Each structure stands twice: as structure tokens, then as C-alpha cells.
Chain A
Amino acid sequence: MSDIAERVKKIVVEHLGVEAAQVKEDAKFIDDLGADSLDTVELVMAFEEEFGIEIPDDAAEKIQTVGDAIGFIKSNAKS
């Protein structure tokens, strides 16, 4: 399952154009990785596509760090 963390980090690096080293589990998308609110929506869309899941809006709002995303996907992913 650690593969999920790697895939999440890869998406974050690609989407936000940040260095892989910056994408730590406690890194906040907006405060630490320079995402704007639209970027966070797009990240959620990218996660949904990559992992074949649906992330409802109220869950998406709680995903603020890289670790939040990995945690949500680990408990909901089918693939």
C-alpha cells in the first residue's frame, strides 16, 4: 500500500510543479506547496482519476495535507 503514497506524491509534484523533497506528508497544499483553491480542486480530481474513487466535497475540504490525501485514499481506494 505504500505505493499509494508514492502515486499521490507523484501527482502533487506534477500538478503543482514542486520538488519531490518538499512533498512531505505533513506539507499543506496551500500554505506549504503554493497551491491555490482551484489547484486543490484539480488535485482532488486527479486523485479521483488515478485511484478510481469518488471524493465527496465534504471529504475533499478536509484534505489539506499530503498525508490527509494518502490517508483518505488508503481507506477508500479500490485499486
Chain B
Amino acid sequence: MFDLGGKAALVTGASGGIGGAIARALHKQGATVTLSGTRAEALEQLKAALGERAHVVTAKMDDPADIDRLAKDAEAAMGKLDILVNNAGITRDNISMRMKDEEWEKVLQVNLTGTFRLTRAAMRGMMKRRFGRVINITSIVGVTGNPGQANYAAAKAGLIGMSKSLAQELASRGITVNCLAPGFIATPMTDVLTDDQKKGILGRVPADRLGTPDEIAAGVVYLASDEAGYVTGQTLHINGGMAMI
């Protein structure tokens, strides 16, 4: 089950903790992967670790021309694009009363607008081939909210609404569009939290531990598979029971 042999996947934010795990998992199932992000060195290291069937295309998700180029270069490198994992994301946390316009706009630009642009650029080939898997990595906070993250939560909630719309537009062409919403996952992003902060978070997680990037990647593999062809417009929550929606 979940064999991805012969499939071509593009993962954005692949230099991050979750993105890297997603790329490794898709590759392990047999997919050819294109790793994207802004940190060329980290991407090249991951590519070297994966060996064959791996490509690197750097891109900035707040640059429209860069995004179009990313879609083209990824298709050119792999010959096609079957699976798009929109994982790239940034945070600029601040309580709303102090949040600057730039902090709001930057997060919306990268996390939501960039994802829309890349997905739009990828759709054409997927429509022609009558197959596509778009997996947008959103977040638990897009559904529950989180103080200090009005911008991030808005962008992540936006991804869910966007995905449902795209799912309805594209379902008849064999293209599924789903979201995956991680809860608190052990990554460099959460490593910076203090022990007290972590304790506070774990108090709200019935599983009583942080999730691992591999547990997120497993969900992506499922949504990317042929077996998940009848699943579209959904949000898969992987959060140790932190929110049950």
C-alpha cells in the first residue's frame, strides 16, 4: 500500500524539520522528489542523503516570479508533477495590539498567497494528466486560534478554505486537495520553547508528548497515495488529541 513509485513530488520548505521528513518519506515510498526552500545548503545536504531521484530548486515564496519558475523547474527536472506538498511557512508572532502591518502581510504573503500561486502554477499539468495530489500543511492553530499568532492562524485557516474550494474545482479531473494540520511537533521551531512552555503545552495534549515529523510525514504519504483518491477537501489533524474536530 501507498506505493509512490513513478510519482513526482515537490515539497516546499524541505529544509525544515517537518518538510525534510515529508521529503524523505515520499522518497522512501518510491517518489522522485524536488526539494524547495530558501536555504540551498540544507537542501543540497538532504538531496545528497537521499541519493537518486532527488532534485533541488530554491525559491522564495513571497516572490511571484520565483514561484512560477519553481513550478516550471520542478516539472522540467522530474518530467511532470504529481504531488505538491505546500509546507513552506513562516511565523512572525506578536500580540495583535503590537503586530505591525509588515508582520501581518509577510505571513499571509508566504503562507497563504505563495501557496495559492504555486498550486495554480502546478494545476495545469495535473489537469492534463488527470492526476494530482495537493497537500497543504496547515496547523492546529488555524482551527483553534492561538494568542500571539493572529497572522499565522489567519493564513493557516485561509489554507483550509482555499483547499476546500480547489478540491471542488478539481475533483472531476482526478486531483485531490487536502490539508494536514499538525499539532505541536518536535522541530527546530518548537525547540526554542522553554521547558515551562513545553510543560504548559503538554498539559493540553492527551498523548502527553510532542509529535514527531515522521508522524506528520506518514499522513502526507497517505494523502499522496493512489489509495486516498476519494479523499478530498479534508483536513487531517495529527495532534495527539490536542484538538478533536
Binding site for B on A (CB under 8 A): 38, 41-42, 45
Contacts and interface: CB of A to CB of B under 8 A. Distances in A.
Interface string B117-130: 00000001001100
A45 B124 CA distance: 8
B207 to A, nearest CB: 42
Nearest to B169: A38
B172 interface: yes
11 contacts: A38-B127, A38-B169, A38-B170, A38-B172, A38-B173, A41-B127, A42-B127, A42-B128, A45-B124, A45-B127, A45-B128
Nearest to A49: B128
Contacts of A38: 127, 169-170, 172-173
Given A42-B127, A45-B127, 9 more contacts: A38-B127, A38-B169, A38-B170, A38-B172, A38-B173, A41-B127, A42-B128, A45-B124, A45-B128
Contacts of A42: 127-128
A16 to B, nearest CB: 13
Top 3 nearest A-B pairs (CB, nearest first) are A42-B127, A38-B169, A45-B128
Contacts of B169: 38
A4 B128 CA distance: 22
A38 B128 CA distance: 12
